[in-house]
Structure 1
Amino acid sequence: MNAIITVVGTDQVGIIARLSSWLAEHGINIIDISQTILSGNFVMMMMVDLSKATCAIQETKESLTLLGADLGVSINMMHEQVFTAMHRI
């Protein structure tokens, strides 16, 4: 199962490092990643593979929200199919 993770907030050192470390610790593989800085705002999207995750989806979402609060950014995760349906033309 794949999911989309979005991260938005003020750019600072360590956002990618902390998030990617957390994902690796929980058996979540990054399949694809895109990030940019827009007028000082950090914006990242990543597709992740949850098939070997060591925690349930809801627990993962809650933990990522807490990690985002700690980093001062907003981190959200949704199932790939939900994301695709929301962004169809």
Structure 2
Amino acid sequence: MKAIVTVVGKDQVGIIAGVCNRLAQYNINVLDISQTVMEGYFTMMMVVDLTLCDTAFEALGRSMKDYGESRDLSIRVQREDIFNAMHKL
């Protein structure tokens, strides 16, 4: 199963490394990543593979959200199919 991870917040050192390390703790592989900084604000979108993750999806989402809040970031994890359905024209 794939998921979409979005990260938004004020730019700071180590955001990508921190998020990727946190995902690696759950055996989650990053398949694709796009990030940018606009006027001091960092945004990142990642496609990740949850195949080897044995943590419940809701618990994973909560953990990533809590991690983000500890760094003053907004981190959201969505199932790929739901993300695609929400963004269909």
TM-score (norm 2): 0.97
Q: In the alignment, which residue of structure 2 is the partner of 1:38? A: 38
For 1:10 and 1:54, locate their aligned partners in 2 and report how far apart those are by CA, in whole Å: 31
For 1:2 and 1:27, locate their aligned partners in 2 and report how far apart those are by CA, in whole Å: 13
CA drift of 1:71 comes to: 1.0
For 1:60 and 1:38, locate their aligned partners in 2 and report how far apart those are by CA, in whole Å: 28
CA drift of 1:18 comes to: 0.8
> Structure 1, residues 42-82: CA drift from partner, whole Å, max 9, x if none?
00000000010131111100000110011110000110011
RMSD: 0.7
TM-score (norm 1): 0.97
For 1:79 and 1:32, locate their aligned partners in 2 and report how far apart those are by CA, in whole Å: 15
- Which ranges of structure 1 fall in alignment gaps of 5 or more residues? none
- Which ranges of structure 2 fall in alignment gaps of 5 or more residues? none
For 1:72 and 1:86, locate their aligned partners in 2 and report how far apart those are by CA, in whole Å: 26
CA drift of 1:24 comes to: 0.9
CA drift of 1:38 comes to: 1.1
Q: In the alignment, which residue of structure 1 is the partner of 2:5? A: 5
CA drift of 1:36 comes to: 0.1
For 2:81 and 2:25, locate their aligned partners in 1 and report how far apart those are by CA, in whole Å: 25
Q: How many residues align?
A: 89
| SS of equivalent to 1:88 | coil
Residue type of the alignment partner of 1:16: I
